[in-house]
């Protein structure tokens, strides 16, 4: 691999969808970006996942939604 190819591969790895990055700003933190990245992962499961994978993803999403609402209920 050339030096240019290595540099490009390193840059691509740093921006992979599973790599966490800095927050999206002081007001909203990283939640909007995390939500968008989650939506991308869900779309991938819908497009190419098996029926079982889609059902498991749905269970995870439902549980995550319930947990997020419990955060608001803490106040």
Distances (CA, A) of 60 to 21, 33, 68: 23, 19, 12
Nearest to 57 by CA among 72, 44, 67: 44
Examine the pLDDT at 14 and tell me if it is beyond 80: no
Tokens describing residue 43: 């779309």
Total structural domains within the chain:
1
Assess if residue 63 is contained within a domain. Answer: yes
The closest of 33, 65, 70, 38 to 46, measured between CA atoms, is: 38
Average pLDDT, the chain: 84
3-7, 23-27, 56-60: segment of lowest average pLDDT: 23-27
Q: Determine, yes or no, domain membership for 5.
A: no
Domain-located, residue 73: yes
14 is a domain residue: no
Q: Does the residue 2 lie in any domain?
A: no
Residue 71 lies in a domain: yes
Structural domain boundaries, residue 74: 31-75
Contact 17, 41 (CB under 8 A): yes
């Amino acid at each position: 691999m050339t030096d240019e190819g290595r540099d490009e591969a390193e840059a691509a790895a740093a921006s992979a969808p599973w790599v966490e990055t800095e927050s999206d700003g002081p007001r909203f933190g990283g939640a909007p970006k995390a939500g968008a990245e989650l939506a991308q992962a869900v779309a991938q499961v819908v497009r190419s996942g098996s029926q079982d994978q889609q059902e498991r993803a749905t269970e995870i999403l439902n549980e995550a939604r319930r947990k997020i609402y419990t955060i608001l209920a803490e106040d």
